[in-house]
Every structure is written in structure tokens, then in C-alpha cells.
Amino acid sequence: MSAVEVAGLRKVFNPGKSSQVDALVDVDLVVQPGAFVTLIGPSGCGKSTLLRLIANLTEPTVGSIMVNGKTAKHARLDQEYGMAFQQAGLFDWRTVAKNIELPLELKGWDRAKRRARSAEMLELVKLPEFGDHMPWQLSGGMQQRIAIARALAAHPPLLLMDEPFGALDEMTREHMQAELLRICATTNTTVIFVTHSIPEAVYLSSQVVVMSPRPGRITHLVDVPFGNDRSEDTREASSFFAKITEVREALRGAEFQPTARGVDDR
């Protein structure tokens, strides 16, 4: 069974009005369990919309979305996925541990079980001594790690991330990428990750999904066969740069495709 299966998806904003926008057309996507799939493309290509559709935060105009063999809505109601955004979105009035426990509270877990799980998650993101801190006492990178811990607290099989490292500086960002890969390998979580950054996409993903705007659609799928052993050396390998070039060219083709005629399109 696929982790996520999107078929014949179409999303139209403001249908029938002069402000009508075809956010996504003819989108088909299959994500295998354990995969790390990155959605990349210029602004307005619908990558965040696609993520929000999979999360059932918005409904498709046409088409079907299955998450873990359930409809997207059913999957949301069962908390089959965790989600992280560009803003860490921690609650100022809750301690770090209580922030991680929020999804568990909503699932009706008792206090002792919640405590044990939040301690486990704090270990996982390597911030075990910060449970009793308030969120605003943490740096941006640490807050984002807590947001990831919260997203994974209920051990969902799927993690949806919308530019989670977009607001971080370059050094913190690279560190967080390595941490995310370690965490996902440990927990065996499938990830769908939205980004603007080509190196970030290549470093993280098993597959890069290249999208183009007006109307938003998938133009290329680039497989990244680096396997699980990715380290800081990966970032300096020639195969890494080759993949970056491949994705960049796919993006160029995608971006100029509506105006520049004769550009390859598969």
C-alpha cells in the first residue's frame, strides 16, 4: 500500500469568478512508505496547496487523495500524519514538553503516557533538558526541532512539512537537514517536504517532484539514489552537484515552458 496516492487531482480557487485560478491541474503522485519526497517549484506552482490537500486542510475540486489507504479526510481525523510549518507555531503559554504533548492530549492519552512520550521525543530531537522551558526561551532552530517533535509525537507514519527551515540561517538549516534525516531514519517516517531550495531538496530527498506554475502541475520527477548514508561529505560530492544541475534544469524548463516554445517537456 502506498503512503500517499494522488490521482487526477485538480484544484480551482474562486471557480466561475473573474479571479478564478487553476492552482493545480492533472496531478498524479504516488509516494511509497519510507520515501522522502520533496515538492519544489517557483512561487505559485501550487506546491503548498498540494501539501495542504494531502493534509485535508483544503478540499480538492476534482480527484482523489488516499493517505495510508484512507481518504485524506479520514486520515486527518485519525491523525495519520504530523505537520510542521515555516513558523514553528509553538504555543507561548505551554512549556516545551506540553507543546509536544498537545496532539496526544487531543487523542485522549493520560498524563503519565503523555509525559513518557514527550520525554522520548525530546531525546529524539536531542533537547532532553528543555522540557520545562518556555518556547520563547529557545532559539529558532531549537523551536523548529520542538515543532518536529510535536509533529511526530503520536508516531504518525507520515510527516508533512511546509518550508520548515525557510526562516533559519544557512548553518542552522544544514544542521537541521541532517537532524531531520536522522530522525526520519530512526522513526521510519515517510516525508513530504515543500521547499524553495534546490540543494535542500537534493540533500534530503529520495525523489524530487518539480512543479511549474500557471496552471500548477508536476513537470518532472527526479530520483536521487544516494540511499541512507548522507553526510556532510555528500554536500561536496560531484554526484550531489550533478543532481542539483539536473533539478535546476528541470525547474528552468518548467518555469519558462509556458512562454519559451520548443523546450523539452516530458
Partner 1 sequence: MSRRGTALLAGIAPPLLFGVLLLGSWEAIVRGFELKPYFLVPPSDIGSGFVDNWGNIWDAMRVSGTNAAFGLVLGTFAGVLMAFLLSRFKVLDELVTPMSIAVNAIPAFVLVSVFNNMFSTTSDVPRRLMVTLVVFFVVLVNVAKGLRQVDATHAELMHSYAASNWEILRKVRVPNAVPYLFTALKIAAPLSVIYAYVSEYFGGAQNGLGSRIASNIANSKNAVGWAYVLGACLLGLMFYLISIAMEAVVTPGGLAQRDRDGS
Window 129-148: residues binding partner 1 (CB under 8 A): 134, 136
257: contact with partner 1 by CB under 8 A: no
Closest CA to 169 of 191, 207, 197, 147: 197
76: contact with partner 1 by CB under 8 A: yes
Closest CA to 42 of 196, 214, 244, 193: 196
Pick from 10, 33, 34, 79 the residue near partner 1 by CB under 8 A: 79
What is the closest distance, in whole angstroms, from the C-beta atom of residue 122 to partner 1 in the complex?
Answer: 19
Q: Which stretch binds partner 1 (CB under 8 A): 15-23, 35-43, 72-80, 182-190?
A: 72-80
Pick from 62, 106, 185, 242 the residue near partner 1 by CB under 8 A: 106
The helix/strand/coil state of 55 is coil
> What is the rounded distance in angstroms from the CA atom of residue 205 to the CA atom of residue 192?
9
What is the closest distance, in whole angstroms, from the C-beta atom of residue 175 to partner 1 in the complex?
Answer: 22
Shorter beta-carbon distance to partner 1: residue 77 or 221: 77
The helix/strand/coil state of 258 is coil
259: contact with partner 1 by CB under 8 A: no
Q: Which residues pair with 81 in a beta bridge?
A: 158
Closest CA to 187 of 164, 151, 157: 157
> What is the rounded distance in angstroms from the CA atom of residue 136 to the CA atom of residue 92?
7
Shorter beta-carbon distance to partner 1: residue 163 or 200: 163
Q: How many other C-beta atoms lie within 10 A of the C-beta of residue 207? A: 17
Pick from 7, 57, 221, 242 the residue near partner 1 by CB under 8 A: 57
- What is the Cα Rg of the chain in Å? 19
How many residues of this chain interact with partner 1, rule: CB under 8 A?
A: 20
What does the binding site for partner 1 look like in residue numbers (CB under 8 A)? 55, 57, 76-77, 79, 81, 83, 85, 87, 89, 91-94, 102-103, 105-106, 134, 136
